[in-house]
């Protein structure tokens, strides 16, 4: 019997977990931050690690034994985790990056021969499962993957999301569903596969030109898909698609089946057939369901590459979206500066920032939702990389210092993500120095030219070099891929020192990536400046030089960078020219979309230095 848990503490919930472990003869239980689709942001049903521990960061793995419980997470979340885990009896286990597997090493060292480690295979990535199995087998430790203890102890566990599906239609969807299916089947044929099973939600949404609201801030829906040469099956909860949508899907050979039947469909595949799966994008549970005798080809999902390379029409839509987003930001920052300058104003808090910036975007055409929870951090809170103000804990914005605002929007014509830092009251020379160093790093990478196919992680040091030169560093990656009215974090490209320069991280034309270096002084301030950029040919197409084709970045984001925070003595002439040229572009493209105080603010904040 499960025990009511809605009022219990993390310590009490871990106690329930240990009792369930004892009943089943389990010595260590793993709760990853994952779901059956290996999503970064999880529907509430699969937020078990957060429910157990109270730690709300998006990355972390909880392990409980009879006398120990810990959460492994990386430097972006250490300050947050220390606060949220305090008093729970759950230890913070620090790891170098979100991709780290040090918890596996810990298990291999800690567990004794003959003991049992358990994890729910339905939420464990196949690639990680293989590493875990090998590490434990070497120690003669048993791995059990057939049990979900959360179901036994989480009495109020949410069910599957029920929000309806809808089509991402033309003109915003620039490729027809039938064309995307045909391209996927062609890629399958090149790999010798007759069928392709997909679980990642953004891949499925892209392929079928569908969107949903099952995951906060990401317009995706919970589903699996099986693509065959003569049709496709979408495994999704019943009643999520209206009859008219079902009919249109059938016209393209896509039938709907209950979500729970996906594993059974894999078990029923005929012997001798060939199935394509992506080992980094499928769970161990789904891989185990594949019928014996089926030939399995392992390769990256073809859609992962396809959706990362935006078409010319998609890029044009994103440019138009950036103008609307930038205009919304002009309205917001004009209001913010006027409010900060008003001595009679009511107290302004970090929560107000989120409300006002979202409201400004909501007035713009095509806006659907924020693309992630707004990060508004004043002074010390800005040094917490993934800080999120709450009713229980937030700062009043008063006195002197720096306000960091990281926000974004989901629009029918694209996804935005931007960080700006503004001064409040008086700021110091140290503030200006750090701000200028971060800007120098952002401009250095924004100005880079590099051979097509360069691995994304190799570009990271370009942004860090000006910051390293001052003896400073930052504990997160410099850039992540961004979807097209899709997830704000999208692969396969990434610009990060913790990512391996694998072939799939190659930079190709059409990819949209963030550039966001930072400097964080714990307890004092945080600075991050972020723009989104598009990979474009460095020369006209067909005019590659002796050393092949080169790419450069086209800056997409349109919003002034606050020059009041600069130490001009640290900028070289070419850096001043870059910033002035950027502000000319921002002013010219946003002026037609703003009026009144927003227009005045735009003109003031884009004045040349």
Residues 190-227 pLDDT 10s: 999 999 999 999 999 999 999 999 999 999 999 999 99
Could you give all domains of the chain from N- to C-terminal order, each with its CATH number? 10-153 (3.40.350.10), 166-306 (3.40.350.10), 309-605 (3.90.230.10)
Q: In this structure, what token pair is assigned to residue 410?
A: 């989901």
DSSP string, 424-460: ES---HHHHHHHHHHHHHHHHHHT-EEETT-BGGGGH
What average pLDDT does range 529-556 have in this prediction?
Answer: 87
Going by the DSSP 8-state scheme, the letter that residue 58 receives in this structure is S
419-455 pLDDT tens trace: 999 999 999 999 999 999 999 999 999 999 999 999 9
What average pLDDT does range 363-382 have in this prediction?
Answer: 96
Task: Name the residue with higher pLDDT: 420 or 75.
Answer: 420
Helix (H) or strand (E) holding 196: strand 195-198
pLDDT confidence of 76, banded at 50, 70, 90?
Answer: confident
What average pLDDT does range 384-398 have in this prediction?
Answer: 87
CA angle 493, 497, 498 (to 5 degrees): 85
CA distance 110 to 108: 6
pLDDT confidence of 3, banded at 50, 70, 90?
Answer: very low
pLDDT confidence of 2, banded at 50, 70, 90?
Answer: very low
Dihedral of alpha carbons 43, 45, 46, 51, sign: positive
CA distance 57 to 80: 8
Determine contact, residues 470/437, Cβ cutoff 8 Å.
yes
Helix (H) or strand (E) holding 180: helix 177-190
Q: What is the pLDDT of residue 392?
A: 83
Closest CA to 325 of 536, 485, 165: 485
Q: What is the pLDDT of residue 498?
A: 87
CA distance 91 to 102: 15
CA distance 132 to 113: 15
CA distance 160 to 427: 49
C-alpha to C-alpha distances, 129 to 21, 86, 145, 287, nearest whole angstrom: 20, 30, 9, 11
Q: Which residue has the tokens 């924020």?
A: 370
Say how far residue 252 (Cα) sits from the centre of its chain.
30
pLDDT confidence of 544, banded at 50, 70, 90?
Answer: low
Q: Is the pLDDT of residue 390 over 90?
A: no
Q: What is the pLDDT of residue 94?
A: 93
507-525 pLDDT tens trace: 999 999 999 999 999 999 9
Q: What is the pLDDT of residue 344?
A: 80
- Mean residue pLDDT across the chain: 94
What average pLDDT does range 324-338 have in this prediction?
Answer: 98
Distance in Å from the first CA to the final CA of the chain: 68
Determine contact, residues 91/70, Cβ cutoff 8 Å.
yes
C-alpha to C-alpha distances, 245 to 36, 133, 209, 219, nearest whole angstrom: 25, 43, 11, 17
pLDDT confidence of 8, banded at 50, 70, 90?
Answer: confident
Going by the DSSP 8-state scheme, the letter that residue 125 receives in this structure is B
Closest CA to 388 of 3, 79, 180: 79
Q: What is the pLDDT of residue 539?
A: 78
Render the burial of 499-523: b for 16+ CB within 10 Å, e for the rest.
beeeebbbbebbbbbbbbbbbbbee
Task: Name the CA dihedral angle for 303, 308, 309, 310, rounded to a multiple of 10 degrees.
Answer: 110
Q: What is the pLDDT of residue 6?
A: 54
Q: Is the pLDDT of residue 84 over 60?
A: yes
Phi and psi at 565, nearest 5°, equal -95, 5
Q: Is the pLDDT of residue 542 over 90?
A: no
What average pLDDT does range 585-594 have in this prediction?
Answer: 98
Determine contact, residues 534/497, Cβ cutoff 8 Å.
no
Q: Is the pLDDT of residue 543 over 90?
A: no
CA distance 251 to 254: 7
CA angle 444, 445, 446 (to 5 degrees): 95
DSSP string, 202-215: HHHHHHHTEE--SB
CA distance 146 to 137: 17
Q: Is the pLDDT of residue 389 over 90?
A: no
What average pLDDT does range 33-37 have in this prediction?
Answer: 95
Q: Which residue has the tokens 């503030």?
A: 431
Q: Is the pLDDT of residue 4 over 50?
A: no
Whole-prediction pTM: 0.92
95-132 pLDDT tens trace: 887 677 899 999 999 999 999 999 999 999 999 999 99
Q: What is the pLDDT of residue 176?
A: 96
Q: In this structure, what token pair is assigned to residue 67?
A: 């006398």
Q: Is the pLDDT of residue 137 over 90?
A: yes
pLDDT confidence of 386, banded at 50, 70, 90?
Answer: confident
Give the range among 119-133, 258-272, 340-354 with minimum mean pLDDT: 340-354
Q: What is the pLDDT of residue 391?
A: 86
């Amino acid at each position: 019997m499960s025990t009511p848990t809605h009022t219990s503490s993390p310590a009490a919930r871990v106690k329930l977990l240990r009792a369930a472990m004892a009943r089943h003869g389990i010595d260590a239980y793993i709760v990853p931050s994952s779901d059956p689709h290996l999503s970064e942001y999880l529907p509430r049903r699969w937020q078990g690690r957060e429910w157990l521990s109270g730690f709300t960061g998006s990355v972390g793995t909880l392990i409980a034994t009879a006398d120990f419980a810990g959460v492994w997470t990386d430097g972006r979340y250490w300050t947050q985790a220390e606060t949220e885990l305090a008093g729970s009896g759950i230890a913070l286990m620090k790891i170098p990056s979100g991709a780290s597997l040090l918890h596996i090493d810990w298990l291999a060292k800690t567990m004794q021969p003959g003991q049992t480690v358990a994890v729910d295979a339905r939420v464990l990535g196949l690639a990680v499962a293989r590493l875990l199995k090998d590490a434990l087998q070497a120690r003669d430790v048993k791995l059990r993957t057939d049990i979900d203890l959360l179901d036994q102890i989480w009495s109020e566990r949410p069910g599957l999301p029920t929000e309806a599906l809808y089509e991402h239609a033309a003109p915003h969807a620039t490729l027809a569903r039938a064309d995307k299916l045909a391209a996927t089947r062609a890629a399958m044929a090149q790999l010798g596969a007759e069928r392709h099973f997909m679980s990642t939600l953004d891949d499925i949404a892209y392929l079928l030109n569908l969107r949903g609201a099952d995951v906060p801030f990401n317009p995706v829906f919970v589903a699996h898909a099986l693509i065959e040469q003569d049709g496709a099956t979408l495994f999704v909860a019943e009643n999520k698609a209206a009859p008219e949508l079902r009919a249109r899907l059938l016209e393209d050979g896509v039938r709907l089946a209950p979500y729970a039947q996906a594993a059974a469909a894999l078990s029923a595949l005929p012997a001798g057939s060939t199935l394509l799966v992506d080992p980094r994008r499928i769970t161990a549970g789904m891989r185990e369901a594949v019928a014996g005798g089926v030939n399995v080809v392992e390769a990256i999902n073809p859609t992962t590459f396809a959706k990362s390379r935006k078409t010319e029409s998609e890029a044009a839509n994103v440019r138009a979206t950036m103008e609307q987003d930038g205009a919304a930001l002009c309205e917001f920052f004009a209001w913010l500066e006027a409010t900060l300058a008003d001595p009679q104003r009511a107290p302004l808090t970090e929560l107000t920032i989120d409300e006002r910036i979202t409201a400004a975007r909501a007035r713009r055409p095509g806006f659907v939702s924020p693309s992630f929870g707004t990060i508004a951090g004043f002074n010390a809170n800005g040094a917490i990389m993934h800080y999120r103000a709450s009713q229980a804990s937030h700062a009043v914005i008063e006195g002197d210092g720096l306000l960091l605002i990281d926000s974004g929007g989901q629009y029918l014509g694209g996804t935005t993500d931007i960080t700006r830092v503004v001064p409040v009251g008086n700021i110091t020379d140290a503030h200006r120095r750090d701000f200028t160093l971060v800007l120098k790093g952002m401009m250095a990478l924004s100005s880079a030219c590099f051979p097509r196919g360069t691995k994304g992680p190799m570009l990271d040091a370009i942004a860090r070099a000006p910051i390293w030169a001052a003896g400073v560093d930052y504990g997160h990656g410099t850039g992540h891929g961004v979807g097209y009215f899709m997830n704000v974090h999208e692969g396969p490209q990434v610009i990060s020192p913790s990512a391996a320069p694998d072939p799939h991280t190659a930079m190709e034309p059409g990819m949209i990536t963030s550039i966001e270096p930072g400097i964080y002084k714990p307890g004092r301030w945080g600075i991050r400046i972020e723009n989104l950029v598009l990979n474009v040919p460095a020369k006209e197409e067909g005019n590659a030089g002796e050393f092949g084709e080169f790419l450069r970045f086209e800056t997409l984001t349109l919003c002034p960078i606050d020059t009041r925070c600069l130490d001009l003595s640290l900028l070289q002439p070419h850096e001043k020219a870059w910033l002035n040229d950027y502000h000319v572009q921002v002013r010219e493209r946003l002026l037609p979309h703003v009026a009144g105080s927003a227009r005045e603010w735009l003109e003031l904040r884009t004045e040349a230095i």
